[in-house]
Structure 1
Amino acid sequence: MSQSKPKLWTKNFISISLSNFFVFFSFYILLVTLPTFALDELHTSASKAGLMTTIFLLSAIITRPIAGQWLERAGNKKVLLTAVILFTGAAVFYFIPSTITGFLIIRLLHGIGFGMATTAMGGIVAEIIPGSRRGEGMGYFVLSTNMAMVLGPFVGLMTIQLWGSQILFILAGVVALGSLLAALSVKHSKPEENNEIEVLSSFSIKGLFEASAVPISIVGSFMAIVYSALLSFISIYASEIHVESVSSLFFVVYAIVLLISRPFTGKWLDAYGPNVITYPCIVLFGIGLFILSQSSEAFTFLLSAGIIGLGWGTLFPTFQTIAIQDAEPRKRGLATATFLSIYDTGMALGSFVVGIIAAKMDYSSLYFLFSFYVLIGAVLYYFLHTKKKRAFVKVEAEFQQSKAQEL
């Protein structure tokens, strides 16, 4: 009689995935609308409007390693609730300020809550998912982020255009509240032995990052530079090649392909290991970017979206799963924080660097270059993960062999 697989779709897994969806939904609703709001209603400069996003992301990046260490010592549920309460509270305060300075302060607090919340959720889901289904489970969990990425900008832009900024802020607050309600229903059994005094006294700079997660995080950050170019400039590129009528469908197609492929790719990761998934998906990512760079009609534009969705959309949860699996069980929350911090640094750096490069060339040439750039990521992955893993397995096998001979 075959042993049944451990259950993945538990109440805890569904609750933490919903909470993650609502956090990112609220994040994307505001991400695409606040710069426009700052320009049109606060009458500020474009550079100050851009700070709405920059300050939010920087505060999240800086907060994550600290949250990861707190997560390891204080317990996941405590950090999760503190983070989501802060995130929801900050969302409510958007009604108060009337100047750009006031909004930047709110964005700073909101970013801290976002960084803490996403770190805590990643740590909790890593422990909730059965070990034998971690690739599949992380894939579905990250899909909740992808769905928010598609719906958030669409809903945010539609709301501010039809009903104005006040309704936009109400919506962002209500969605954030949904995250808090979902988080409250998460039951986490990990014992929280350390009190807050012990956590603060044992705080260390060295403990801000999980060393085992750094190599794969660097690979993720390297690839994130390309993804930031898609998020930032795909609508501008669509206008450049005269397919702006379907530009809003790019990430919809991206998400649909993810939704269809996720049941298979996650299971393959668990069954055959990350290399079987990673190398083909890097190639697919490159092919998708190449097709995008040569697009001149809606069909090839949207075809590239599907191929990129299958490629990069599979790579991200694979990298995050590797970061978690390479860490000790008690350090999975810290590994999540390390991965997301380094990844977001690549996103932030990419937005800045790609903006400079884009000023020197057209977007078609930019995406053409990136189609080859991502293939370098395969080389980076080989040296930072595959080769090191083989060496570790070889040493482990030799150790076990010598131990057996002694017996």
Structure 2
Amino acid sequence: MLRTLSIGSRQDAGAVEATAVRPSLFTRAFVTVALAELAYFTADGVLLPALPRYVEGSLGGGDAAVGLVIGAFSVSAFFLRPWAGRASDRRGRRLLMVAGASLFALSVAGYLVASSIPVLVAMRLLTGAGEALFFVGALSANVDLAPPERRGEAFSFASLALYIGIGAGPFIGEAVIDRVGFRAAWLVSIALAITAVGLALRLPPMRPAAEEAEPGGHRLIHRGGLLPGLVLLAAIWGMAGFLAFVPLYALDVGMRGASLVLGLFAGIVVLIRSVGARIPDRIGPGRATRIALTLSSVGLAVMGLWRSPAGLVAGAILLGVGVALFTPALFTLAVSGVPANERGAVMGTTSAFLDLAFGFGPATLGFVAAGIGRPGTFVAGAVVAALGLGLVVATRLGRARPR
């Protein structure tokens, strides 16, 4: 009898321990945040093929104009993200998500009356402000709602929304443009952003408790986000150029459009982040970051040097694998050991480098395209990603990270 009780007690203890080791991730709030992200990034994805075609076709702009329009939103987003991070820590994640998606919808409504490149650039600056608020709020919510030992997995699943959005969005955007026109594409994007607002309103405020605050908290620029931010800059620079110029480069190499390439790229990311969501946690975020940067650099080089549909597809696959591993691994490194009331600041600081990449990446690569041709943009992006890999190795990021 005592032995039976002992065995039962050990079994119960093992069950409790297993539950403690693997706490629940997919709570109602976590899923709601992910759905809001899906709606928001699908709205963003609709714009990906639409904006380059609108600038070059309807507004008569060249490669440099395409780069400026695509990257303009990153200027305002860059300056606002650190402030958004601090506001997220003080006011809560929900407020930023609602405000960001609302401002996004308002800015895209401005595209309806943008009859010149300067006006469109001005509207893109507003889009960037909405991006800063929503992205920081949503990313901080993902961290808050995830158990510490499952953050890499949480980032993988949550970021599926982003890549499903930029995968499905271009198909929607190109279909709407071909059948109805650009105005209809803007309206579809607005409707999706409003859907994100409605979902975000169903969330709790998600404001970190005041008693968690520590001396030095609520910093506008968080030191812990600087090194991960520089690595993020290097990794995303080339991807930003890929997203900006692949709609036109696909036509250059004889394809009918970029929806297949963008869909394949996003599909690879979705597959790895769903089936292999725990990879960054299992192999370690540092190792995953190094592998990701290597694959991204090689993929971009393949696209630029193998100038054919096959080369574009092969490079997109490699880039997709690299991107799939990179973001969850890097953001897991960024928030490691950071108190809850400072996570927004770290996310704001780190993700500000995302805006530098999406702002200066397409803009500078636009001038590269104008000077030596569009294939050169992908080769240049490969070089920058390789420099990021060198930075990770030199600083031992993910191995012995100073706090």
1:380-391 matches, cutoff 5 A: 380-386=391-397, 389-390=399-400
Is the 8 Å Cα contact of residues 88 and 180 (structure 1) preserved in structure 2?
Answer: no
Query: What is the aligned counterpart of 1:351 among 344, 362, 370?
Result: 362
**C-alpha deviation, 1:159, in angstroms:** 1.4
- Cα-Cα RMSD: 3.2
Distance (whole Å) between structure 2 residues aligned to residue 211 and residue 267 of structure 1: 28
Structure 1 168/294 Cα, relative in aligned 2: closer, same or farther at 3 Å? closer
1:387-402 matches, cutoff 5 A: 389-390=399-400, 392=402
1:163-200 deviations in Å (ceiling 9; x for gaps): 12332232122111110111122234545769xxxxxx
**C-alpha deviation, 1:258, in angstroms:** 1.8
Q: Which residue is equivalent to 2:184?
A: 167
Distance (whole Å) between structure 1 residues aligned to residue 381 and residue 122 of structure 2: 36
SS at match of 2:400: helix
Structure 2: segments with no counterpart, 5+ residues? 1-13
**C-alpha deviation, 1:229, in angstroms:** 2.4
SS at match of 1:67: helix
Is the 8 Å Cα contact of residues 75 and 192 (structure 1) preserved in structure 2?
Answer: no
Query: What is the aligned counterpart of 1:26 among 43, 64, 81?
Result: 43
SS at match of 1:28: helix
SS at match of 2:372: coil
Is the 8 Å Cα contact of residues 50 and 173 (structure 2) preserved in structure 1?
Answer: yes
SS at match of 1:359: helix
- After TM superposition, the structure 1 stretch with the greater mean CA deviation from structure 2, 346-355 or 106-115, is 106-115
Please tell me the residue identity of whatever aligns with 1:266: A
1:183-202 matches, cutoff 5 A: 183-190=200-207
Distance (whole Å) between structure 2 residues aligned to residue 246 and residue 161 of structure 1: 11
Distance (whole Å) between structure 1 residues aligned to residue 56 and residue 292 of structure 2: 39
Structure 1 264/295 Cα, relative in aligned 2: closer, same or farther at 3 Å? same
Identity across the alignment (%): 21
1:262 partnered with 2:273? yes
**C-alpha deviation, 1:262, in angstroms:** 1.6
Please tell me the residue identity of whatever aligns with 1:280: I
1:129-278 matches, cutoff 5 A: 129-190=146-207, 207-240=219-252, 242-245=253-256, 247-263=258-274, 265-278=276-289
Distance (whole Å) between structure 2 residues aligned to residue 392 and residue 94 of structure 1: 45
Distance (whole Å) between structure 2 residues aligned to residue 94 and residue 292 of structure 1: 31
Q: TM-score, normalised by structure 1?
A: 0.82
Is the 8 Å Cα contact of residues 22 and 175 (structure 1) preserved in structure 2?
Answer: yes
Is the 8 Å Cα contact of residues 86 and 220 (structure 2) preserved in structure 1?
Answer: yes
Please tell me the residue identity of whatever aligns with 1:230: F
Distance (whole Å) between structure 1 residues aligned to residue 122 and residue 365 of structure 2: 27
Structure 1: segments with no counterpart, 5+ residues? 195-202, 394-407
SS at match of 2:25: coil
**C-alpha deviation, 1:94, in angstroms:** 4.9
Please tell me the residue identity of whatever aligns with 2:38: F
Is the 8 Å Cα contact of residues 300 and 319 (structure 2) preserved in structure 1?
Answer: yes
1:202-249 deviations in Å (ceiling 9; x for gaps): x99x92211101101101101222212212223443344x34147431
Structure 1 155/189 Cα, relative in aligned 2: closer, same or farther at 3 Å? closer
1:291 partnered with 2:302? yes
Matched positions, count: 381
Q: TM-score, normalised by structure 2?
A: 0.82
Q: Which residue is equivalent to 1:64?
A: 81
**C-alpha deviation, 1:302, in angstroms:** 1.7
Distance (whole Å) between structure 2 residues aligned to residue 227 and residue 9 of structure 1: 29
